Amino acid sequence: MVCLCRWVSPVNALRRHRELSRIWASDPGWRGWFTTVNHTDIGRMFLAVAVVFFFIGGILAMLIRAQLASPRSPFMGPEIYNQIFTMHGTIMMFLFAIPLFEGLAVYFLPKLLGARDLAFPRLTAYGFWCYVFGGSMLLFALLAGIAPDSGWFMYPPLSSTLGSPGINSDFWLIGITFVEISAICAAVEITVSILRYRAAGMSLSRMPIFAWYALVASLMILTGFPPLILGSVLLELERAFGMPFFQVEHGGDSLLWQHLFWLFGHPEVYIIFLPAAGVISTILPVMARTTLLGYGWVVVGAISLGVLSFGIWVHHMFATGIPHMALAFFSAASTLVAVPMGLQVFAWLGTIWKGRPQMHLPMLWIVGFFATFVIGGLTGVMVAVVPFNWQVHDTAFVTAHMHYVLVGGFVFPMLAALYYWMPHLTGRKRFFKLGETAFWLVFIGFHGTFLLMHWVGLLGQRRRIDTYDAGSGWEVINLISSVFSFVMAIGFALILIDVIIHTVIRSRGPRNPWGAGSLEWAMPIPPPPYNFASLPEVTSRDALAKSPGLALGLAKGEGYLGTPRDGLRETLTVDTATGQPNGIVVFPKNTALPIVMAFVTGGIFLGMLIKAYWLVPLAASGVVALSLRWVWGLGHRRDQGLQDAGRGLMLPFASETADPPGWWGSVFLLIANATFFGCLLFGYAFLWTVAPNWPPPKWAVADVRWLGVAFAGALIGPLGIRWAILSLRRDGSPLPGLLATLVGVVGLGAGAATIPLSLPDPTRHAYDATAWVIGGYGLFHAALAVLMMCFLIARSAAGFLSARRLGEARIVRLWVDYAALVTLAALAAAFAPGILS
């Protein structure tokens, strides 16, 4: 038989499948769980753990409703109740919603984008294990009865030593920061994967719409989570060492926490909503058998929502006594956000209008989403109106609004996603029709629980009270709420049973059950570990709809990289804008390194938690050693030159391009890092202008000689690394340049160290404490740069650098430049007031 296609690889489909499966498979048996770095495995594990946390959080919610069902209920006292509602919020926000998005993105993005894995497979695994270990810390606290109890928003002084002298708050601050490592890792990973790891020909305008939402959400995680991490670090430093960032009598201010927390907390709501909107924009057109209306507009809307949502954080602080004009700025911004939000809703409605909607189960959930989310959005606009906010703030009205937004806007779309993609995960079709019954139970249960809660809030019932008096007029409403909440719980239990039956009963489903047009269906289901036997070339947004035979062609090896090479795990990188292929990535194999490193990282956090401070440096050096081991295995000692990518295309390995994936990862990690530092400087300026009890008793006095050393370092470091790269380009020895850089960054470190050295007591005043943190931040980055330089010198000696293999040196250049910048900024911030006055 003659094959018409031009590029036929020498292996046939079955042999290709066998060989690729062998290359990409995780380790056999239980070991595979701990050493896998495959995104399909880790995505599933992420999703499963997030769902476990959802059910734990749900059980806590049921306990809350049981307590509030009757006035003066003897069910539990305030000490227990406070832990339960705090943990309900914490678990749902940090351990369920964000990780569920991460799991969804980790599992689906490469498949939607036409790649074989995410950019940094080991980082995915590391993030996952950090999430598991951090989450376990919080669960342990819950079971031991020493869980955080100051609300999920953790306002000091209540959450600090004054209001919570016990270990409860430490579990929150340390556990959540540990979990946030996974959010940052996943966000870097997702951003780089979307920008670089796509199918050939997939330009920005041909990206699946979910990728746009995931890109915006990930960039928001990178800029939204640093303020929270900073706040947690500062509050933990206050609790552990008495550095008074939030204590007013020593120049701190509890309002600083509220700013940092909501600077994170408001974008967080959109970080949760955007992926859900992405899911709807993906599923809805398929269910309406058409394409999404106004793709370009929807992208514009998603980006606007993402950035605008950073300008609304103060609307959670309308009752804190901030001047009316400042409130008005944020009130205006809050109403403005409704515009892109409305755009989304109308684009979806228009999509249904222009298509032929079919009421499958995923569509049912989407309709449920519409009914619920629109109510939540409208009450949201009401809450943005200042005088109305003053009346309903901190009442059950806001609780109801929030649940309409988060359950309606996130959980319902995720259930649509569950039923839409379950065939993809399992390769089966649904057996019993339990899902429809479950939908009605959850939908009716939800509205029964929360609709009347608006009213009881308007009647004056506050949030977070553990009990109330008979005769307040709230009894009937609360009882109705509680009864319906159990209806909802039964619905969720039914969904769980439905999913279990689905996975257990063997009834094989068709390959593309919904007739969708996106690439994740152009593979066998359940997906093989390598996703695509060869990588597709796309010419439109709905590649599969345009060429229904795509899956078969890819299996036959008609795409790129269809011939396995030396047992390597390979995929393509593309140019961000055009989607032109420009490199071949070789992924690392299965390894226990991520889980071991997550475990050792846990040592740092555990040491802080149980105040075994000797453990902290020990674990930190462990992390350093493991990271060196992690990166040493990358790259080549010899130039490899151009490689055959299939279909007649010759491409270099990504490690031989000027901007390897690690460079892109570093850029986005540095964006998160710079946001952290920016928030630190904001905090400093905030305390200076707003906190009572300023100025401090004494400003730091600069030692001019050390300032000179730091300036020289900031000059020599960045120049030295440039010199080294130039020498490499000219095939000369980079060593003189590298050594000069090393000297420069040591100078930076010495300069940064003068800040804490000139302020002997960080507990004296918030200024001293803040200067210590700023100086410590500079010192940390100088030390990091020193470490990287030593690494680079060793790599150079071992022959890993050449004119073609510049990537590592360019990555280190980013970090050296950053260290120089932040050290100078730190010195200016700490010493300028002393010099000026």
Partner 1 sequence: MTDILRLFGPLVLWLASFSAIYGLHGAICAQGWDRSLLVMAWGIAVAVQAAPLLLLSTERFGARAGFVRRASLALATVSLVAVIWTLAPAAFLSACV
Partner 2 sequence: MLLAGAVAIFVLVMVLLLLAFRARGADDPAESPATDPKEDSRHERRWIIGLWLVFPFAVLSTLLAYGLTIGERLLPRPVPDLVTVEAEARQWAWRFAYPGLPGRETEGVLHIPAGRPVDVRITTLDVIHSFWVPRLAGKLDAIPGHVNVLRLEADAPGNYAGVSAEFSGAGYADHRFTVTVHDAAGWSAFVAGSAP
128 to 157, contacts with partner 2 by CB under 8 A?
Answer: 149-151, 155, 157
- Is residue 465 a contact point for partner 2 (CB under 8 A)? yes
Residue selected from 42, 112, 222, 691 as contacting partner 2 according to rule CB under 8 A = 691
Q: How far apart are CA 404 and CA 191, in angstroms?
A: 29
Residue span binding partner 2 (CB under 8 A) among the ranges 307-315, 421-429, 455-463, 765-773: 455-463
Compare residues 440 and 632 and give the one whose CB is closer to partner 2. 440
| Contacting partner 2 within 372-401 (CB under 8 A) | 374-375, 378-379, 381-382, 384-391, 393-395
Residue 28 binds which of partner 1, partner 2, none (CB < 5-8 A, kind-dependent): none
> How, if at all, do strands 581-587 and 650-651 pair?
unpaired
Distances (CA, A) of 652 to 104, 147, 647, 659, 804: 31, 53, 15, 12, 10
Residues 710-769 that bind partner 2 (CB under 8 A): none
What the block records as the tokens of 29 is 């048996």
**What, of partner 1, partner 2, none, does residue 338 touch, CB below 5 to 8 Å by kind?**
partner 2
- Judged by beta carbon distances under 5 to 8 A according to partner kind, the member of partner 1, partner 2, none in contact with residue 426 is none
**What's 68-79 look like in SS3?**
HCCCCCCCCCHH
Give me the residues that bind partner 1 (CB under 8 A), please: 195, 203-205, 219, 296-297, 299-300, 303-304, 307-308, 310-311, 314, 323-326, 328-329, 331-333, 336, 340, 576-578, 685-686, 689-690
Q: Which residues contact 742 (CB under 8 A, 6 or more apart)?
A: 720, 786, 789, 790, 793
Q: Which helix (H) or strand (E) holds 188?
A: helix 168-196
Output 108 or 257, the one with its CB closest to partner 2: 257
- Nearest approach in angstroms of CB 204 to partner 1 is 6
> Which listed option, partner 2, partner 1, none, makes contact with residue 577 (CB within 5 to 8 Å by class)?
partner 1
For partner 2, give the closer residue by CB, 383 or 745: 383
How many residues touch partner 2 under the rule CB under 8 A: the total is 81
**In this complex, which beta carbon is closest to partner 1, that of residue 319 or of residue 650?**
319
DSSP sequence for 682-720: HHHHHHHHHSSS-S-S------HHHHHHHHHHHHHHHHH
The answer to whether the beta carbons of residues 108 and 210 sit under 8 Å apart is yes
Q: Which lies closer to partner 1 via its Cβ, residue 308 or residue 773?
A: 308
Phi-psi category of residue 368: left, alpha or beta, with phi > 0 → left and psi -120 to 50 → alpha: alpha
Rounded Cα distance between 490 and 246, Å, is 44
Strand partners, 573: 583
**Tokens linked to 568:** 């390597």
Q: How many residues does the chain have?
A: 837
By CB under 8 A, residue 78 contacts partner 2: yes
Cβ distance to partner 2 smaller for residue 464 or 810 = 464
Q: Is-contact 403 395, C-beta < 8 A?
A: no
Q: Does 336 bind partner 2 (CB under 8 A)?
A: yes
Which of partner 1, partner 2, none is residue 694 near (CB under 5 to 8 Å by kind)? Answer: none
* Minimum CB distance to partner 2 smaller for 29 or for 692: 692
CA–CA gap between residue 704 and residue 291 (Å, rounded): 65
Given the structure tokens 């398929």, which residue do they identify?
A: 286
> Which residue from 63, 167, 303, 345 is in contact with partner 2, where contact means CB under 8 A?
345
Closer to partner 1 by CB, 315 or 764: give it: 315
Instruction: Assess 633 for contact with partner 2 (CB under 8 A).
Output: no
Q: In the set 338, 568, 620, 624, which binds partner 2 (CB under 8 A)?
A: 338
What would the two tokens of residue 186 be?
């996943």
Kind of pairing between the strands at 643-644 and 581-587: unpaired
Task: Select 378 or 715, whichever has its Cβ closest to partner 2.
Answer: 378
Give the binding range for partner 2 (CB under 8 A) out of 72-80, 259-267, 700-708, 796-804: 72-80
The number of angstroms, rounded, from the C-alpha of 413 to the middle of its chain's C-alpha atoms is 19
Q: Report the nearest approach of partner 2 to the CB of residue 678 (Å).
A: 25
The pair of structure tokens assigned to 785 is: 């740069």
**Count helices and strands in the chain by DSSP H and E runs:** 26, 4
Which one of the spans 28-36, 116-124, 320-328, 736-744 is the region binding partner 2 (CB under 8 A)? 320-328
Amino acid present at 535: L
83 near partner 2 (CB under 8 A): no
Neighbours of 378 (CB within 10 A): 13
Give the nearer residue to partner 2 in terms of CB position, either 769 or 820: 769
Q: Both tokens of residue 398?
A: 């806001």
